[in-house]
Amino acid sequence: MSEGSHNYLSARKGLWSWLATTDHKRIGILYAMACGTFFLLGGILATFVRTELGTPGETILDQDGYNQIFTLHGVVMVFLVIIPAIPGILGNFVLPIQIGAKDVAFPRLNLASWYLFMAGALMAVFGWLFVGNVDTGWTFYTPYSSGASNAVLWLTSAVFVAGFASIFTGLNFIVTVHKMRAPGMTWNRLPLFVWAIYATGIVQVLATPVIGITMVLLFLEKLMQIGIFDPALGGDPVLFQHFFWFYSHPAVYIMILPAMGIISDLMGTFSRQQVSGYTFIALSSVAIAFLGFLVWGHHMFVAGQSALSSIIFSMLTFLIGIPTGIKVFNWVATMYKGSVWLRTPMIYALMFLFLFSIGGLTGIMVGVLAVDVHLHDTYFVVAHFHYVMMGGALIGLIGGLHYWWPKITGRMYNETAGVIAAILVFIGFNVTFFPQFFLGSRGMPRRYHDYTELLPNFPEFAPLNLVSTIGSYILAVGLLMILVYALYSLFKGPKAPANPWGACTLEWTHTGRLPDEHNFHETPLVTRGPYDFRLADDVFGPKEED
Amino acid sequence: MNEQGSIWLPESASTVAGDVDALFYFILVTSAIIFVGVMGAMVTFAWRYRRRSENDRPEPVRESKLVEASWIAIPSILVAVVFVWGFRVFLELGIAPPNSYEINVTARKWSWTFTYPNGAVSTDLHVPVNRPVKLRMISDDVVHSFFVPAFRVKADVLQGRYSYVWFEATRVDTFNIVCAEYCGTAHSDMYANVVVQSQDDFEGWLVENMDDGSLTPAQRGERSYELEGCWPCHSLDGTTLAGPTFLGLAGSTRNFTDGTSAVADDNYLRMSIVNPAQQVVEGFLPVMPQQYALDLSTEEIDALVEFIKEQQ
């Protein structure tokens, strides 16, 4: 393949060629720019939150200001970053090439999903800037949100609209995986990233309508005073929480499954070894997609649901936890007798294993009924879900972006800078969030603006909060460093080879430095699995004699 | 376990705390062992099998059935153990002994009120030591959550539906009650104390705090100020909280957000209680609940107006 002239970036020029593109790769980049911007915004909000909590008393925000900032941080990070990012960016860019397809099954629907996502995001920003403040938390619990300002309607509408983007993306990937695989790309030869995005698609299609309907009901209640959730109008005070978690727990898998897919690919490629337990990992992703619908009640052990429900939900939670634990064992085992190459993406994969294990084990802690009664709604939970959502989902995303960066941009980034930033992120993350386990289990509730007044026998919260705040600055420096060397690489980075990592999946073996507009000149014929390095003479040259 | 608490857990002072803590530490230690094991394997493999040449192509590893069976079986057994254990302690936390002493709890933005069987009312919870106490709780507005870290108990407090929590305090001391469910502006200030007293002291306190009708209107106003939760937002010493201070309020000139102004006479004070959003003083947000017109009797509002007028 000749360099330059025919790749997907150079094939068409001009702003319109981006805004009207149906190329899955370009749509992936549109998602990357949008999600990147929102991640920066959400991160800035997070440093405001941590700065306020760094010292006792009012530091930089008053109570209402703090409540609005943490609400926005949650809404932006959950709905505009973690949920859409991996399927939107890497799913779009990588999945069709990995299965040997020219594009997704419905390219126009794919573009429509990005526009809906942007429409949702703009509604949220508009509501925030011009309608009023929202201080409900990202969970919008009633009856608090019933009494909040009308800006909450803008945010819930935004969630409703952005939800369709999620549904369209999921639908597209399900059909694409079923119908568009290249000859020889059997289900057993799908890269685990594809399996993960496929399972995620199922959850997106089945779960997202529930949050949509819930938001419509909230709308009807607020505007037309129809009693659904608000007891003052004859509604049920706990119903909203059931509806909300019926979506939002499966949504946790929308967030984490794609990251697990990335980690599987990274562990295989950088260990140059079959991913241990391939079939188990592939099928358990799909199983989790369905089981994930049966555990929403574990968010409500102390919320007034019946004890019997709590017991059943706790048991189901463990059923889902065991396969996740086994996946971690499989990833570690993948390195056994492998050839481990510690480049930046692999460092993020190992970081994922470290952080996600802590997130998972503390998840067992809060899944145990009697212990959760004490830990529920404390900083222990905040620490737990940051270990899973950021330490898991976002670290997976960052690792994946480093892995596929040369294929997306055609350039390399500075490896040393990558390693230093990864170390800063690792240290910063743990210094930020590990102290929050202590704060929570010692009794500091979450969503607290201040902790000075807690007298008389309360433990000291100030030192640990200060440590956590300092950690958040280290984390911020690490993340900004990534932004800097990524931008540098974009313009000045050395040109990447077509397959810098010695990977064996189609996006590396069957495309040039940058993929063509239609990915392949000829439809690839697949003759081996995604991690059959031993058979990949096309990548490594003929076998050396042993 | 340790009554003084540790880096992980606060001090403990209830009959169930020991059971909860034992389970907490069991999971903590087991998790730590598993974590160290997995990370140890990870670091060992990453080092031991590091890449030595660019064209390394290691032999595929045959998956060992024994290893796989054990890493399925061991975690399954462990979670079965903690599930059953957690379930048993959960029942202990959930079922109040039949002889429990019952106290009613009302939560609202952003204060607690406790009502005792003899009619005594208080803003701090007083309980007898070594006797099971059952709280019947309801909220005036949004969802709150009653949490006493030292007792390891927590339950959400809902509007329009009772919820319950019980505990038995094991020593005479004072502990914190905090609100654990986010409830708006002053969520982090919604705390109160549990005062654990000996049976005799507790009974004495109950009698002292019975309302026998001998209070003056301003004294009754002061009582409402505490029990209805005016105090988290309206100070008496000139401090600005979520609402204006009561100090020097009566008779002063108030400037409103709509640009008008008025002198704070009796009618203004009354209107500000029953319809607080009508005129909002400059520098404040219309966050005061509208419920007081319904919650307070005419006499109680009169008494509050008297009380506010005394704050000069």
Find, in chain B, the residue whose alpha carbon is nearest to that of A379.
B180
What is the rounded average pLDDT of the residues B18-41?
96
Burial of B140 (0-12, 13-18, 19+ CB in 10 A): buried
The two tokens of residue A106 are 């419905």
B5 vs B129, residue with greater confidence? B129
Picking from A123, A356, A381, the residue whose alpha carbon sits closest to that of residue A262 is A356
Asked whether residue B242 is assigned to any structural domain, the reply reads yes
Q: Please work out, in degrees rounded to the nearest 5, the angle formed at the alpha carbon of residue A144 by the alpha carbons of A139 and A150.
A: 90
CA distance B97 to chain A (A): 16
Residues B79 and B120 occupy one common structural domain: no
Asked whether residue B58 is assigned to any structural domain, the reply reads no
Q: Are A83 and A255 in contact (CB under 8 A)?
A: yes
- pLDDT number for residue B59: 86
Q: Which residues does chain A have within 8 Å of residue B11's beta carbon, measured at their own beta carbons?
A: 457
Model confidence at A395: pLDDT above 90: yes
- pLDDT number for residue A289: 87
CA distance B127 to chain A (A): 17
What is the rounded average pLDDT of the residues A216-226?
87
Model confidence at A546: pLDDT above 70: no
| Residue B296 contacts A where some CB pair is shorter than 8 Å | no
Q: Are B247 and B235 in contact (CB under 8 A)?
A: yes
Q: Identify which of B31, B154, B156 has the shortest CB distance to residue A374.
A: B154
What rounded mean pLDDT belongs to chain B? 89
B230 vs A16, residue with greater confidence? A16
Picking from A504, A415, A428, A408, the residue whose alpha carbon sits closest to that of residue A90 is A408
Asked whether residue B141 is assigned to any structural domain, the reply reads yes
Asked whether residue B111 is assigned to any structural domain, the reply reads yes
What rounded mean pLDDT belongs to chain A? 92
Q: What is the pLDDT of residues A482-505, one digit of tens each?
A: 999 999 999 999 999 999 999 999
The two tokens of residue A456 are 């008389």
Q: What is the DSSP string of A63-114?
A: HHHHHHHHHHHHHIIIIIIIHHHIIIIIIHHHHHHHTT-SS-S-HHHHHHHH
Number of structural domains, chain B?
3
Picking from A193, A34, A171, A178, the residue whose alpha carbon sits closest to that of residue A110 is A171
- pLDDT number for residue A363: 93
Residues B70 and B123 occupy one common structural domain: no
Residues B129 and B171 occupy one common structural domain: yes
Q: Which residues does chain B have within 8 Å of residue A338's beta carbon, measured at their own beta carbons?
A: 45, 49, 58
How many H-runs (helices) and E-runs (strands) does chain B carry?
7, 12
Q: How confident is the model at residue B1 (pLDDT cuts 50, 70, 90)?
A: very low
Q: How confident is the model at residue A455 (pLDDT cuts 50, 70, 90)?
A: low
Residues B151 and B234 occupy one common structural domain: no
Asked whether residue B56 is assigned to any structural domain, the reply reads no
Per the CB < 8 Å rule, is B180 touching A445? Answer: yes
Model confidence at A3: pLDDT above 60: no
Per DSSP, the three-state class of A341 is: coil
Q: How confident is the model at residue A454 (pLDDT cuts 50, 70, 90)?
A: low
| Residue A227 contacts B where some CB pair is shorter than 8 Å | no
How many angstroms separate the CA atoms of B141 and B163, rounded?
A: 14
A 10 A CB-CB count for A245 gives 22
| Residue B193 contacts A where some CB pair is shorter than 8 Å | yes
Task: Determine which of B11, B16, B82 to mutate to test the interface with A (most A C-beta atoms within 10 Å).
Answer: B82
Q: Are A107 and A23 in contact (CB under 8 A)?
A: yes
- pLDDT number for residue A35: 97
Q: What proportion of chain B, given as a percentage, has pLDDT over 70?
A: 98
Q: How confident is the model at residue B178 (pLDDT cuts 50, 70, 90)?
A: very high
Model confidence at A40: pLDDT above 80: yes
Model confidence at A216: pLDDT above 60: yes
Residues B201 and B259 occupy one common structural domain: no
| Residue B4 contacts A where some CB pair is shorter than 8 Å | no
What is the rounded average pLDDT of the residues B58-78?
88
CA distance A312 to chain B (A): 10
- pLDDT number for residue B195: 95
How many angstroms separate the CA atoms of A257 and A352, rounded?
A: 13
Picking from A18, A26, A40, A134, the residue whose alpha carbon sits closest to that of residue A89 is A26
Model confidence at A331: pLDDT above 80: yes
Asked whether residue B268 is assigned to any structural domain, the reply reads yes
A 10 A CB-CB count for B134 gives 16
| Residue A141 contacts B where some CB pair is shorter than 8 Å | yes
What is the rounded average pLDDT of the residues A69-89?
95
At B73, which CATH number? 1.10.287
Asked whether residue B54 is assigned to any structural domain, the reply reads no
What is the rounded average pLDDT of the residues B58-86?
90
Per the CB < 8 Å rule, is A361 touching B31? Answer: yes
Find, in chain A, the residue whose alpha carbon is nearest to that of B163.
A304
Domain boundary among B208, B239, B258: B208
Backbone angles phi, psi at A347, to 5 degrees: -60, -40
At B202, which CATH number? 2.60.40.420
Residues B198 and B223 occupy one common structural domain: no
Measured in Å, how far apart are chain A's first and last C-alpha atoms?
A: 33
Residues B204 and B257 occupy one common structural domain: no
Residues B249 and B269 occupy one common structural domain: yes
Residues B42 and B80 occupy one common structural domain: yes
Residue B259 is classified by DSSP as: S
B259 vs A401, residue with greater confidence? A401
Q: Are B195 and B127 in contact (CB under 8 A)?
A: yes
Residues B229 and B276 occupy one common structural domain: yes
Q: CB-side exposure of B101: number of CA atoms within 13 Å?
A: 20
Asked whether residue B236 is assigned to any structural domain, the reply reads yes
Range of the domain at B290: 217-310
Residues B105 and B201 occupy one common structural domain: yes
At B251, which CATH number? 1.10.760.10
What is the rounded average pLDDT of the residues B226-252?
86
Domain boundary among B208, B236, B254: B208
A459 vs A139, residue with greater confidence? A139
| Residue A277 contacts B where some CB pair is shorter than 8 Å | yes
- pLDDT number for residue A2: 43
CA distance A345 to chain B (A): 14
Picking from A160, A114, A139, A147, the residue whose alpha carbon sits closest to that of residue A225 is A147
Identify the structural domains of chain A with CATH numbers, from first to last. 28-518 (1.20.210.10)
Residues B35 and B10 occupy one common structural domain: yes
- pLDDT number for residue B63: 80
- Taking each helix axis from N to C end, the angle separating A24-54 and A63-75, rounded to the nearest 10 degrees, works out to 160
Weakest mean pLDDT among A419-423, B37-41, B175-179, B281-285: B281-285
The two tokens of residue A305 are 């649901």
Per the CB < 8 Å rule, is B160 touching A339? Answer: no
| Residue B41 contacts A where some CB pair is shorter than 8 Å | yes
